[in-house]
């Protein structure tokens, strides 16, 4: 049943997404793609929408996926499911187990998980950049437009930090990339 799947799927996201939004993206991709809820490409668009709308990115993605699969009740269930684990864990930490985080065994588990999630996020970034630079129909071919556009965006985004104090914000980059997309793909 879809409601039950949404509940389990997003509890998993809420429970295994360390390191904030970008830690959640690999887990959300996993869950969403394995249930076949939405396509990878649509999910990428939705990440951009979540990034450009206010609020926690994880909550935004849960609401969207839930709503696209099962309307309002689906959105409600997915959102509640993604929030519930961190809500309960923080409460438990405050009420019962203030020292739990300092426990050496818990520390050892966290020491293993943190570098692992960094590797997973890095791999996801590499994969997402490469997959849209290669058009895979019958035979994979490299899209020159996408490669040039990616290089252009990367230079602007990382280069802006050398000039501006804080560099471009993610929303500014998404705005520029949207404009560039209209120009490059519209011609």
From candidates 45, 73, 141, 142, binder to another protein by CB under 8 A? 45
* C-beta of residue 153 within 8 angstroms of C-beta of residue 177: yes
DSSP lists the bridge partners of residue 141 as 135
Instruction: Decide: helix, strand or coil at residue 134.
Output: strand
Single out the residue of 42, 185, 40, 62 nearest to residue 127, CA to CA: 40
Contact 100, 29 (CB under 8 A): no
Q: Which of 7, 9, 37, 60 touches another protein by CB under 8 A? A: 60
Contact residue for another protein among 7, 27, 70, 77 (CB under 8 A): 27
In this complex, which beta carbon is closest to another protein, that of residue 11 or of residue 138?
Answer: 11
Interface with another protein (CB under 8 A), residue from 3, 35, 160, 184: 184
In angstroms, the CA 76 to CA 69 distance is 11
Beta-sheet strands, E only, within 5-53 = none
Q: Which residue among 6, 7, 9, 26 contacts another protein (CB under 8 A)?
A: 26
- Binder to another protein among 5, 12, 35, 160 (CB under 8 A)? 12
Nearer to another protein by Cβ, of 115 and 138: the residue is 115
| # chain residues binding another protein, by CB under 8 A | 101
- Least separation in angstroms between residue 164's CB and another protein is 15
Using CB under 8 A as the binding rule, the residues of this chain from 141 to 180 that contact another protein are 146, 149-150, 153-154, 157-158, 169-171, 173-174, 176-180
Strand partners of residue 134: 142
70 scored as a contact of another protein (CB under 8 A): no
**Nearest to 153, CA basis, from 130, 131, 181, 134:** 181
Using rule CB under 8 A, residue 49 touches another protein: yes
Q: x/- contact string, 78-117, with another protein (CB under 8 A)?
A: -x--xx-xxx-xxx-xxx-----x--xx--xxxxxxxxxx
3-state secondary structure of 176: helix
1 and 69 Cβ atoms separated by less than 8 Å: no
């Amino acid at each position: 049943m879809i409601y039950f799947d949404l509940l389990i799927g997003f509890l998993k996201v809420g429970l295994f997404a360390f390191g904030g939004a970008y830690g959640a993206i690999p887990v959300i991709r996993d869950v969403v793609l394995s249930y076949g809820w939405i396509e990878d490409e649509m999910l990428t668009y939705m990440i951009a929408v979540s990034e450009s709308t206010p609020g926690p990115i994880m909550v935004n993605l849960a609401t969207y996926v839930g709503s696209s699969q099962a309307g309002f009740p689906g959105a409600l269930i997915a959102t509640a499911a993604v929030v519930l684990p961190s809500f309960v864990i923080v409460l438990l930490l405050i009420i019962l187990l203030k020292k739990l985080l300092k426990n050496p065994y818990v520390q050892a588990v966290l020491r293993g998980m943190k570098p692992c999630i960094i590797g997973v996020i890095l791999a996801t970034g590499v994969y997402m950049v490469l997959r849209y630079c290669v058009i895979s129909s019958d035979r994979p071919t490299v899209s020159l437009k996408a490669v040039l556009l990616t290089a252009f965006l990367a230079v602007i985004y990382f280069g802006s930090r050398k000039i501006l104090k804080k560099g471009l914000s993610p929303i500014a980059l998404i705005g520029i990339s949207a404009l560039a997309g209209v120009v490059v793909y519209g011609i």
